[in-house]
Chains A and B, each alone.
Chain A
Amino acid sequence: MTAAHFWITLLKAVLVALALLTTFAYMTLVERRLLARMQIRRGPNRVGPLGLLQPLADAIKSVFKEDVLATNRDRVVFFLAPLISITTALTVFGAIPAGRPGGFFGANPWVFNLDIGVIFILAFTSLGVYGIFLAGWASGSKYSLLGGLRSSAQVISYELGQGLSILGLLILVGSANLRSIVHWQYHHGWLIAFQLIGFACFLISSFAETNRTPFDLPEAEQELVAGYLTEYSSLKWALFQMSEYVNMITASALISTLFLGGYRGPAFLDAVVPGISGWPYLWLLLKIALFLFLFIWVRATFPRLRYDQLMRFGWKVLFPVALLNALLTAAFVGLLPGLSPWILGLVSLLILIALLALGDRLLAGNRKLARGSAGD
């Protein structure tokens, strides 16, 4: 690695971090405004025009707030936990390719390009749970500990579903490199069409992985004060908020890259405006924005799941369905080589519709079972 290469990579990393943190700041505003509008309110509109300076005011407030320290805390770990959270959150985004090679002023528009891209991202995002768990443990408070424990149990459960849900995708593409996945999709069509079940599972487990409603149990304020955040204040608290939002942005980028064609736009639009699918950054930003809106939209709509519902859904629904998808894809690729993947997409669609239609009955059966066992 030459010195120039090193400096360019460092510059790109700093740029990505800055971009993520700015997006985080404005995501808080956008989220509050959208949530407010969905609840027929106006939301923050006092600081600056349209409330656009609200993130700045929030940042100043959280920096200058008193840093309250719990007496029972573990000094080192209490300080390290938010750093672990934010570091893992910021690191992961570097793997997302944002454009064609050499598309960033002659440099490659990604910070690092790994052959195990997807697996690296999954591994690193699950490292992020250490931040939450250690925060819960180091706070020396029972609510924090319960919040941290819940979070680790939740992430471990949904990690499996998430990993399995992209297995089918990896079988189809034959590579875990994010660039190869985007490239494959440009030639064969978006993977959401062939891996509908995988997409559904991945989306749902992304909600759980980023601790967003309806899976935001670690910070269920009705039961756990603020979960692992209870003893945190000031800048450390802001770091946790930051990592949650950055994780959300990364999850959106990952879903777009894996299932919606990444940085390439839909190929059929090339017929209308030549070369539009190759416009850099535009498509990835659009797709990320779409998923961020979905995150907010879901938060405005659904209540939080109960803990047993969360675990039951993760293990009894998400895990088997993701496994089914992986088996289906493996069987399709192994037994019927050379067949168009569109047939697989059709089969997936039918199975997904059947699952959704039968979902009511399956859940009712589960409830009956749960009632029966509660009497024992």
Chain B
Amino acid sequence: MGVLDLAKGMGVTLGKLFSKPLTVSYPESRVQLKPRFRGRHVLTRHPDTGLEKCIGCSLCAAACPSYAIYVEAAENDPAHPVSPGERYAKVYEINMLRCIFCGLCEEACPTGAIILGNEFEMADYRYGDFVYGKEDMLVGQYGSRPQRREAERQGTPVRLGLSVQPREELEGVRYP
């Protein structure tokens, strides 16, 4: 390694000193995520009928490597069906503390009902609050549980710290 190489190295660092930092000042400015970022799950609906895609088959729970998913199925009422099949998920819970966001549930799902979304800000205070139910994950629900709680307390709309173009599997999901 000659002296010229040393000088070249010094030049590189000096040049970088005057370049714009790549750091995103996260809480103030939004993180630009890639579309396939795997965050909080979304339970999607059929866009035309509005019925839930989930048929309560529990394949996601079987595929889950960390046993984070609990599904309890029930028969559909033929007059007012929740999902297009015979059964639907009466209870659908994911423990976000156990979940490793691997996406195997998404792969196992025969109807494409569960898709990993892009939200990731789920830090909370109590273990129980990390068990997300259907009401937290159905499409149209915006923000995680602590974010919605905080927004309600302050009377402001939920503000996500991310911006992304959601992939097409996430039907009906719009991020700012």
Is B a genuine binding partner of A?
yes
Interface residues of A (CB under 8 A from B): 34, 36-42, 297-298, 300-302, 356, 359-360, 363
Chain B residues near A40 (CB-CB < 8 A): 16, 19-23
Interface of chain B residues 1 through 56 with chain A (CB within 8 A)? 1-3, 6, 9-10, 12-14, 16-17, 19-23, 25
Closest CB-CB distance, A362 to chain B, in whole Å?
Answer: 10
Chain B residues 140-158 with CB under 8 Å of chain A are none
Measured in the bound complex, the distance between the Cα atoms of B3 and A118 in whole Å is 29
Q: Give A308 Cβ to nearest chain B Cβ, in Å.
A: 16
Chain B residues with Cβ below 8 Å from A297 are 10, 13-14
Task: Assess the B13–A300 pair: CB atoms within 8 A.
Answer: yes
**Nearest chain B residue, comparing its CB with the CB of A299:** B13
CB distance from A177 to the nearest CB of B (A): 34
Question: What residues of chain B have their CB less than 8 Å away from a CB belonging to chain A?
Answer: 1-3, 6, 9-10, 12-14, 16-17, 19-23, 25
17 inter-chain pairs at a CB distance below 8 angstroms, sorted by A residue, are A37-B16, A37-B17, A37-B21, A38-B17, A39-B16, A40-B16, A40-B19, A40-B20, A40-B23, A41-B22, A41-B23, A42-B21, A42-B23, A297-B10, A356-B2, A360-B1, A360-B2
Smallest beta-carbon distance A179→chain B, Å: 33
Query: How far, in Å, is A221 (CB) from chain B's closest CB?
Result: 21
Q: Is the CB of A41 within 8 A of B10?
A: no
Give chain B residues whose Cβ lies under 8 Å from the Cβ of A302: 6, 9
Chain B residues with Cβ below 8 Å from A36 are 21
Complex Cα distance, B21 from A41, in Å, reads 5
Rounded to whole angstroms, the CA-CA distance of A300 and B19 in the bound complex is 15
User: How close is A201's CB to chain B, nearest CB, in angstroms?
Assistant: 14
Given known A38-B16, A40-B19, contact A298–B10 (CB-CB < 8 A): yes
Which residues on the A side are within 8 Å of B17 (C-beta)?
34, 37-38
A-side contacts of B19, CB under 8 Å: 40
Residues of A within 8 A of B20 (CB): 40
Min CB distance, A213 to chain B, in Å? Answer: 12
CA distance in complex: A129, B17 (Å): 33
Complex contact B25–A42 (CB within 8 A): yes
Complex Cα–Cα for A324 and B55 (A) = 86
A302 and B8 alpha carbons, distance in the complex (Å): 11
Residue of A nearest to B10 (CB): A301
- The one of A37, A301, A360, A363 in contact with B9, judged by C-beta atoms closer than 8 angstroms, is A301
Closest CB in chain B relative to A58 CB, distance in Å: 20
CA distance A38 to B21 in the complex (A): 9
Whole-angstrom distance from the CB of B18 to the nearest CB of chain A?
Answer: 8
Given A37-B16, A41-B21, A298-B10, 11 new contacts (CB under 8 A) = A37-B21, A38-B17, A39-B16, A40-B22, A41-B22, A42-B21, A297-B13, A297-B14, A301-B9, A301-B13, A360-B2
Shortest CB distance A258–B (Å): 23
CA distance A298 to B21 in the complex (A): 20
CA distance A38 to B23 in the complex (A): 12
Write out the residue numbers on chain B whose beta carbons fall within 8 Å of the beta carbon of A363: 1
Smallest beta-carbon distance A297→chain B, Å = 6
A355 closest partner in B (C-beta): B3
Q: Which chain A residues border B23 with CB–CB below 8 Å? A: 40-42
**Which chain B residue has the least Cβ–Cβ distance from A302?**
B9
Q: B3 contacts which chain A residues (CB < 8 A)?
A: 356, 359
CA A168 to CA B170, docked complex, whole Å:
75
Bound-state Cα–Cα, A300 to B23, Å? 18
Bound Cα distance from A42 to B14, whole angstroms:
15
Q: Which residues of A contact B14 (CB under 8 A)?
A: 38, 297
Q: How far is the CB of B25 from chain A (nearest CB, A)?
A: 7
- List residues of chain A with CB within 8 A of the CB of B6: 302
Rounded to whole Å, the gap between the CB of B138 and the closest CB of chain A is 37
- In whole angstroms, what is the CA distance A39 to B16 when docked? 7
Nearest first, the 5 A-B pairs at minimum CB distance are A360-B2, A356-B3, A42-B23, A301-B13, A38-B13
Please name all residues of chain B whose beta carbon is closer than 8 Å to the beta carbon of A356 when the two chains form the complex: 2-3
Judge whether B2 and A359 touch: CB under 8 Å.
Answer: yes
Which chain B residues lie closer than 8 Å to A42 at the CB level?
21, 23, 25
- A363 vs B12: C-alpha distance in the bound complex, in angstroms? 24
In the bound complex, CA of A283 to CA of B116 (Å): 61
Q: Which residues of A contact B25 (CB under 8 A)?
A: 42
A311 to chain B, nearest CB (A): 17
**Chain A residue with Cβ nearest B19:** A40
| Cα–Cα distance between A280 and B67 once the two chains are bound (Å) | 73
Q: Determine how close the nearest CB of chain B comes to the CB of A351; give it in whole angstroms.
A: 14
CA distance A302 to B6 in the complex (A): 8
Q: Closest residue to B22 on the A side, CB-wise? A: A40
Give Cα A348 to B2, complex, Å. 20
B12 in complex: contacting residue of A37, A298, A301, CB < 8 Å: A301
Min CB gap A52→B, angstroms:
17
Chain A contacts for B16, CB-based, 8 A: 37-40
CB neighbours (8 Å) of A34 from chain B are 17
- Closest residue of chain B to A363, judged by CB? B1
A302-B25 Cα distance, complex, nearest whole Å: 28
